[in-house]
Amino acid sequence: MIGTPTFYVLIGIMSAVVLVWLILVIYRRVRYEVFLVLGFLLIILSLTLTGEYSGTYLLSAQNEFIYQVASITVAGVAFIFVILGLFSLNKRWIKKRGTDNLNSFRNLAFFAYVRHPITFSSMLISISLMMLIQSILSNVLAGLALIIFTISSFEKDTFLQKLYGYPYKVYSRQIPRFNVFHGMIRSFIIREKDKGNADDFVIYD
C-alpha cells in the first residue's frame, strides 16, 4: 500500500489533522501535547521517507514474513488500546474529581489498569513501523517518535498532578503508566483486599 495514491491521500489527511492539532496545541500551550504532536509528525515522516535515499535494506523472505506478522500483531494490540482508551474517557476519575473512585478502582474502566493507554498505543505503532518498513531513516524516525511519546507520558503525569494535586499523585502510585498486566494484578489484589475488609465488618444488634 505504501507509495500508492490511496496511501498519499491518507498521509495528506493525517497531515491535515496533525496540523490542526498543532494549531490547537499552540493556542492551549499544553507541554505534553506538544510532544504528542511532534511524535505523530515523526510517524508521518517515517511513513513517507522510505525511498532509496533513506537507506533501504532487504530481509530474507522468511525474516520479512516474521517481521510483518510481528508488526501486524503489535499494530493490532495498539488498536485495541486505542479503542479501550477512547471508550473509557468518559469514565476517567478526573471527570469525577473525587477520591472514592480513585481509591476503590471502580468506574475507571480501562484507566483502572493503565494510566496512558492511548499514548502507549502510539508507542506500539512506532514499534510496528520499525518492524514493517525496511528503511534506516524510517526506522530512526519511528525510534525518535517512540522516545518522544515516552517523554510525553511523563509530561502528562506532571501536568495532571499540578492540575488535580494529591488525588492524581495517589492514582499514579497505584496504576502503572503502561504495564496493563501489572495494573490488572494490582487492581485484583486491591479489590480482594477491599472485599475482605467488607466481610470483616459486622454490625451486631
pLDDT digits 0-9 by tens, 114-155:
888 888 899 999 999 888 888 888 889 999 999 999 999 999
Q: DSSP readout, 38-58?
A: HHHHHHHHHHH--SGGGTB--
Q: What's the confidence (pLDDT) of residue 113?
A: 81
How does residue 28 score in pLDDT terms, banded at 50, 70 and 90? confident
pLDDT digits 0-9 by tens, 52-97:
666 667 777 778 888 888 888 998 988 888 888 887 776 555 444 4
Domain segments of the chain: what residues?
A: 5-197
Check residue 116 and give left, alpha or beta (phi > 0: left; psi -120 to 50: alpha): beta
pLDDT digits 0-9 by tens, 150-180:
999 999 999 888 887 777 787 788 888 888 7
